[in-house]
Amino acid sequence: MASAPASLSHWGAFHAQIADGDITSVHPIATDVDPSPLLGNLPGSLRHRARIAGPAVRRGWLDDGPGPSSNRGADEFVAVSWDELTELLADELRRVVDQHGNEAIYGGSYGWASAGRFHHAQSQVHRFLKMLGGYTFSRHSYSLGATGVIMPRVVGTHDDLFKRSTNWDVIAEHTDLLVCFGGMALKNTAINHGGTTAHPARGALNRFRDRGGQIVSISPLRDDVAGDCQWLAPAPGTDVAIMLALAHMLATESLVDRNFLQRYCVGYDRFERYLLGLDDGAPKSPEWAADICGLSPATLRELARQMAASRTIVTVSWSLQRIRYGEQAPWMGLTLAAMLGQIGLPGGGFGHGYGSMNEPGLAPTRCRLPALPQGLNPVRTFIPVAAVSDMLLHPGEQFDFNGMRLTYPDIRCVYWAGGNPFHHHQNLPRFRRALGRVDTVVVHDPYWTAMAKHADIVVPSTTAYERNDFSGSRNDPMFMAMPALAEPYAQSCNDYQTFAALAQRLGFGAEFTEGRTEEQWLHHMYRQWAAGLDFDVPTFEKFWSAGSLRLPVEDGLTLLADFRADPVAHRLATPSGRIEIFSETIDGFGYADCVGHPRWYEPREWLSGDRAKQYPLHLIANQPASRLHSQLDTGATSQHAKIQGREALRINPRDAADRGLADGDVVRVFNDRGSCLAGVVIDDAVRTDVVQLPTGAWYDPQDPADVNAMCVHGNPNVLTDDQGTSSLAQGCTGAHVLVQVEKFTGTPPPVRAHEPPTLRPR
C-alpha cells in the first residue's frame, strides 16, 4: 500500500492510500478543521464494478445506423476497439454537420464533472465542438436558472452575489440577526466547484452565536440550520408571501429606510402600491400572508420589528428559486433587505446562497485561475439549460426567454461529457422520450450512469485521480497540484486523448492539440497564467513539487459596500445604475408570469392548491447530505444513508402514522407523472404534510424498456414537473412537487442502478 500526494476534490483536499490501482482510504488535510464526510465515497471508486471498462456502442445503433429509437436505456451494448469507436464517432459527427449543420449538435455537458482545470470535461468538449464548427449550447444552470436571469436585471450581477458576498468573519463579528429563507444547510457547504480546502461556515456560525447572534430559519426542514435557531415551518413555496408580509409591516410601521431607497434604488413607489393593496385591494399584511403560509400574524409582526431593530442579513437559499415563479424569492429578498436600508453595511444587507455551497462567505482570490482556451462558438443558437426536453421534443417551436423570442433547433446529435442529466433534469419519463427522438447520443463517463446506459456511443473516461492536473476555485486560497494517484482503469482514456484522436480524424488535430501533450498543456497553462499575475509565483516545476500554492485573497468583504459608499463611482450594471425594485425593462417584456416588481404568484404544486386533494404531501427534492449530486452514489457514505438499498425518504411522525408506516419500511412515492420506491425515516425535523427525498440516486427503472417504469432506487425526478420558472428565466422547478406515499407490499424489486448493462463482444 502506497501513500499518495495530496489531491483535491469538490468536497475537500485529502491524502489517500493506494493499493491495487484503487483508493483504499482517505484522510483530509490537516488544515481543514471541518472536513466533509463525502470524502468517504472515494475508497473503492476507481475499480468499482460500475466503471466503464472500454469503448461501447449500443447494439441497435450499430446494427441499424443512427436514427430515433425508443430502445435507448434498454438495449445491450457491443464492445468495440478505440480505433473503431473513433471512426464511428467521427463519421457520425461529419454526417450530422454535412446534412443538418452544426446547430443540430447539442453540446449538453452540464454538471460538475470533476475537479481539474485542464481535464475539466466541459472545457474539453466545448473546445472540441467549437473547432468542429460550433454547436447549440445552454445558458445558466439547474441550480441557479432563475437567479442567473433576474439578479443581473435588478442588481446588475449574478456571480458577485456568491463570489463577493459578505465574508463569514464579517458576519461573525457584526451581524445580530440572520433571517434565512430556505435555511442555511451546512451539508451543502461541503462542496465547491473546482475544489475546496477549508470549510469555515460551521466555525463562523459558532462564533456568531457565541457573540449573541440569532438565526431565524424559515424552512419546512428544521435541520436546514444546524444548531440553535428559531425554526419557522411554513407551507413550502410560500416564502414570497412571508417576505411581503414583513415588508408590509416595515412600510406601515414607518420602519422603512426611505433615504436608502431614494438614493440607492428605483421603483419602490411602484412596488409599494402593490404591497399596500392600493390597486388590487389586497394589502399584503401579516393576516393576508398567514392564510397562505400557515404562520401566525403575530409571529410575522414580531419578526419584522426584530429585523428593523437589529443589524440584519436577509438570506435566500438557492432552493427557493428552483420552483415555479422562482425569480420572485431572490428579488423579494433583495427588496426586503433594501427596505431595511442595511445593504453595504458590515453585517447587514442581503445574501444569496449561504448554505448552498462552500462559496458564499469565503474570501475571493485576487486572480483568476488557469483555464483551457475554448475559442468562440460560431453557432449562436442556445437554450436555457433546463429546457432540454422541450428542445428535443419540439424542434422549430418558439419560446420566450429573457425578453427574446427564440426557436428550438432540430437536434440530431446530443453530445454529453461531464454530467448526469438523470440527476439534474425533471420528469424523467418525458426526458427519456425526448432522448429517443434524436439520431445519436454520445456520452463520455467513467461510470455506467443512467445517461451512459441511454447513449448510443459510450466513451470510457478516466476519473480525476487517474490523470495529472491542477485545480482550485475562485473562493479558496489554495491552488493545488493533482498528480495521478493510479493508472487509468482498463481501457479508459482521458477526454483530451479522445478529442485529440477525433480531431485528427476530422482534420483539425493540430489546431486542437496545438502540438502539446497533456504534460505540455499543464506547463503552458501555468506559464500563461503566471505571466499575467501582479505577484510572484514559483516555476511550474517548483509548484508541482510543493503540491500547492497559496494565492492572495480579498478578506473582510461586505456585499455592495463600494456601491453604498459611492453609488455614482460604483454604479450597478442595471439601466438605472441602482437596485431596481421596479424594473421598467422586465415590465416592458409584457410577461404575465413575471411583471416589473416582485409579487406573489400562487404555485401549482403547493398544499393549498386543488392538486393537493389528490397528492396531499409536498415533497422537497433537495441536495443530498451523502454525496455531491449523483457523484459517487456507489460510495460508502452514500450507501450508508440508504434504506434497504434505496434512497431515504423523511416523513413526519403524524404523516407516517396516518399511513401505517414504520422506520425502515419501503414505500411507493407517486403522482401522475411517475413513481419511485424509497426507504422510510420518520423524523419530526420535517414539517407535517411534507416529505423530503434528496436528488442524486442513480435512476433505476424497474423495466428499462418502459419509459414510465417505476424507479426502484428513489430518484425524485420521475415525479417532478418539467416546466420553466417563468417566461423570463425558464429556470428549473425541480425542488418542489406534490406526491402521495403508500407502503409497498410484497418483495421490493432489486436495485440494479450500479450494475453495468449487458455488454457483448464485437
pLDDT at site 109: 83
What average pLDDT does the segment 750-762 reach?
A: 96
Per-residue pLDDT, 131: 98
pLDDT of residue 406: 98
Cell of 573: 450594471
Predicted confidence (pLDDT) at residue 1 exceeds the cutoff of 80? no
Cell 452544426, residue located: 102
Asked if 725 and 321 touch (Cβ cutoff 8 Å), the reply is yes
Residue 163 has pLDDT above 80, yes or no: yes
Taking residue 409's Cβ as centre, other Cβ atoms within 10 Å add up to: 23
Q: Decide if pLDDT at 463 tops 90.
A: yes
Residues 111, 113, 117, 120: what is their CA dihedral angle, to the nearest 10 degrees?
-90
> Residue 642 above 70 pLDDT?
yes
Question: Domain ranges in the chain?
Answer: 2-41, 56-142+380-468+492-515, 155-363, 610-743
Predicted confidence (pLDDT) per residue in 446-460, tens digit: 999 999 999 999 999
Q: Please, what is the Cα angle at 413 between 408 and 414, to 5 degrees?
A: 80
Please state, in angstroms and rounded to a whole number, the distance separating the CA atoms of residues 112 and 121. 9
Instruction: Give dist(CA 705, CA 106) in Å, integer.
Output: 25
Q: How far apart are CA 686 and CA 111, in angstroms?
A: 29
Residue 480 β-bridge partners = 471, 548
Q: How far apart are CA 352 and CA 333, in angstroms?
A: 9
What is the torsional sign of CA 582, 583, 584, 587?
negative
- Is 112 among the residues known to form the active site? yes
The CATH number of 56-142+380-468+492-515 is 3.40.50.740
3-state percent breakdown (helix, strand, coil) of the chain, nearest 5: 30, 20, 50
pLDDT in the model for residue 111: 80
Q: Which of 11, 106, 112, 416 is flagged as catalytic?
A: 112
Distances (CA, A) of 365 to 344, 369, 377, 517, 533: 20, 9, 29, 29, 12
Please check the confidence at residue 5 and state whether its pLDDT lies above 90: no
**Over 80: is that where the pLDDT of 2 sits?**
no
Q: What is the average pLDDT score of the chain? A: 97
Query: What would the CATH number be for the domain defined by 155-363?
Result: 3.40.228.10
* Residues, the chain: 762
- The pLDDT of residue 762: 84
For CA atoms 729, 733, 734, 736, give the dihedral sign: positive
Amino acid 141 reads S
DSSP string, 441-452: EEEEESB--HHH
Q: What is the mean pLDDT of residues 742-746?
A: 96
Among 295, 165, 286, residue whose Cα is nearest residue 230: 295
Of the pLDDT bands very low, low, confident and very high (cuts 50, 70, 90), residue 4 is confident
Just give the CATH number of 610-743. Answer: 2.40.40.20
> Which triple of cell numbers denotes residue 537?
509565483
Instruction: Print the SS3 string covering 719-747.
Output: CCCCCCCCCCCCCCCCCEEEEEEEECCCC
Using the predicted structure, report yes or no on whether residue 352 has a pLDDT greater than 90: yes
Residue 22, classed as helix, strand or coil, is strand
Contacts of 306 (CB under 8 A, 6+ apart): 177
- Pairing between β-strand 478-482 and β-strand 214-218 as defined by DSSP bridges: unpaired
608-631 pLDDT, tens digit each = 999 999 999 999 999 999 999 999
CB burial class (10 A; 0-12, 13-18, 19+) of residue 668?
middle
Across residues 725-754, what is the average pLDDT?
A: 97
pLDDT over 90 at 408, yes or no = yes
Are 295 and 234 in contact by the 8 Å Cβ rule? The answer is yes
C-alpha cell at 645: 438499498
Q: How many CB atoms lie within 10 A of CB 209?
A: 15
* Catalytic position from the list 11, 110, 274, 544: 110
Per-residue pLDDT tens digits for 203-227 = 999 999 999 999 999 999 999 999 9
Checking if the pLDDT of 392 tops 80, the result is: yes
Q: 34: buried, middle or exposed (CB in 10 Å: 19+, 13-18, 0-12)?
A: middle
3-class state of residue 510 by DSSP: helix
Across the range 462-488, mean pLDDT stands at: 97
pLDDT of 414 reads 98
Question: Which cell numbers in the block locate residue 649?
Answer: 425518504
Is residue 61 annotated as part of the catalytic site, yes or no? no
